[in-house]
Structure 1
């Protein structure tokens, strides 16, 4: 059967979580932590214990290759057995461990999606600053190991922009604010093309919010087992955190009505099974605040996210700036805090309006600048916006024509994966 008659497989590998599923769906089939637990006890045995024979050593290597888990299963295995080592293949949006990444894809395809890779075209995502060599490695693994008929490697920011449209016409000029677990990037896109020279990155992301919450709870002396403290902080972030409009007012609210605002976290100690409780207080609004006042968390980086977005747009070509301010799309799980988009729009509008006023004052009123429209787009699928954009993109007829095929790979080699055409099929 022709692979183009089947839905493409869409896999969005993020630093913290991987989203996977089939083209045409609204939601991914699985969302798993991007982590591999490999049983490396076979290979760490001394050669004498393997009787020194080649066969015994070879069998140990095969056993080590077969015995691994990914996602939540990997985390559970590492807790229950010391022979499993956790490996995080992606750091700050870039693949650092290709062996672990190949194992991860293997489990995604065969264990979770349960499909034959030879029967489906594949769409994978990458960070805007991924080096071309990385795309070659990806192409080699997909074409050689999995024997896929076609592959398209899409820039995640462009997909997020495609997911954020609110009308029948998809607007492909805008700024993507992608706040994931390991990286935060502000990426301007004009007519579907990334303006690479204007991309801004900031060293504060979802994991830093978790670490900050963990630090606040530890300093307050909450009764949380040390081995569980990071997981508890992550769950507190996902369940209770929100963005406030004014820190001082929020402190006063908590102090006046602690019963209303302070939540209780209940857990079980992993070693003894004894229950424990702890309070969740100021960290509910202080966690997300690190994006707007980073100085409360870090002395090294003190520029707020709205200021970084403004710098990014101001460095873009002048004829694109108004369109970029008008379409700022949120993407990634760490933008899901309540009122995050509203606060971002308010703070950014203040910066832009102050500049317009200053320019008008400088010219003495002879030349007046028109007000700049600032619009931050929040939408229901922003948590997995990149995956949803990939699902939309790979459902179009033009997708299959734009993919790199197995035949092209065999003829030209892995270098064909260095570039992928941007096509206008959906907008």
Structure 2
């Protein structure tokens, strides 16, 4: 791991909060993520199951967490099962957790090797009334392959068909949305690394550079500062490419007079930043580019003020749509007649701003949270309005990460250059 060990208090607290939501005499099991093949003899870089990491702090494949707070055998109320290393693994793969290291990372005393899982589970499972199992219930995801959690559910139902099964995901959805102080600090670190990468890019960008050269500057800064890497595939979209919302080719030359839309963020200790900026390739915005930019910035600043405890998701997005509508009319992109005659299911502003304004942020970039749950203190959300004008070869998106507190909200990216004048000064300094 590139990052220092996280304080185990985070995971001890997370487990305490989770088991407090279980029904009496319940056992819960969490699996690590699958290892996915990349080629004939390689796997993709391993990415831990966010729920397992949230509850244990263990960042390693082939891990299982067992929680059974009412277990009649006190030894097995919290148990972590790990892949046991050997001489072959030491030579070919290197570091794996020892039992002592896993204990220090997680705060769990009972650490066993994976080969002991079946016997230990079988010795206690018949005393439990309920078994909580986990799946990915993020409503942005639909699985097409039977990943490890799904396969494990089938195995459990086959072995223990008469138990009452429960879903862990509703509990995790409630807990993960509310960030603790340690999680906030890790997110701030990811935002800080992202800030430095953006400032590096401002100094580097000029007409003639390739989008992938800019991407190289970003990952250089991320890795140099101990980030795991990109929080998601970065978007380096110059000119017309900015109108492709998930543009990932990053293979075109950046031309004088164009604007580049960036959407990237660092991952640090499994926590993520998510930033969007738009900058002029030549170092100066044209008047039209600046007008569109400032319209997006106005929507962003106004929307940020609405990110407070108690705000309801749909009401918030409707309000942002009204703010964006006014800006698009001012820019001459839509008319009052367009608004008057619009289809309520697809308002006129959607022609130039077709995506949502905000999403939760955390261990997942689009973090697990309730779409119908009002915003609350402890939430971290993005604010990312955009205006996309294909006929002008121009796309502008701006995005910061906002923490809600009991006394208002805090912009975790307040230090990242945002105003057009600041960007121009840094590019020409």
* TM-score between the two structures when normalised by the length of structure 1: 0.31
* TM-score between the two structures when normalised by the length of structure 2: 0.31
